Chains A and B, each alone.
Chain A
């Protein structure tokens, strides 16, 4: 199984709503990532988790709150978002071990619309 599964595929939320994006992998990967991608732009790194601990936060606003409850799951909690936060949110995972440099696997993303 080389899949990274993201749910939901599409999400529409109001600016006062609280919602969560979910990402799951069963490849035994210990590094997991959240990216944000606006239309016609490259993916932008938001967060990196290494062995269930947050290792990188690319100065993301606090209305985005990541969580890694176990080695297979990664959540992104959303609260009080703005319309400009509408984007494709991508999750990825990789081995996460220094001695083994391998590829990252990406999910198909959640397309988020904030109204």
Chain B
């Protein structure tokens, strides 16, 4: 699976958009970009994923560059409850490994009042 690079930490004001970047320059053609988050002491929570096109759901938007070497997760109106570690993961199906999720260090997003 391709390696990802994320900033260690970011701050965001409550009510503003949070834009979390991720670099994945070695991504291959069949690999997806997934975003998960982990609020303190809880299990990771799925946010969104995409292959080439931009994606949006009720939680967030995912913008993937045309060359697919980087992406940005956007939380449109951050709240205090969005304070968490956000993980960007690149993975694809490879036989029996079933979209193996390998977590990097992630970005600690702190939403401030």
Contact = CB atoms under 8 A, between A and B. Distances in A.
Contact of B100 (A48, A105, A108): A48
A55 B43 contact: no
Instruction: Tell me which of B44, B45, B93 has the highest count of chain A C-beta atoms within 10 A of its own C-beta.
Output: B44
A25 interface: no
A84 interface: no
A103 B85 CA distance: 18
A31 interface: yes
Interface stretch (B10-18, B69-77, B103-111): B103-111
Interface string A22-66: 000000000101000000001111001010010110000000000
Given A56-B96, A103-B34, A103-B49, A45 B102 contact: yes
Contact of B103 (A31, A43, A101): A43
A45 B103 CA distance: 8
Interface string B8-46: 000000000000000000000000101000100111111
Contacts of A105: 46
Given A103-B49, A106-B44, A108-B43, A56 B100 contact: yes
A94 B99 contact: yes
A4 B104 CA distance: 23
A44 B96 contact: no
B87 A42 contact: yes
B103 A98 contact: no
Instruction: Tell me which of A55, A90, A103 has the highest count of chain B C-beta atoms within 10 A of its own C-beta.
Output: A103
Given A42-B103, A55-B97, A106-B43, 9 more contacts: A31-B98, A42-B105, A45-B100, A45-B102, A50-B96, A96-B98, A98-B93, A101-B99, A107-B43
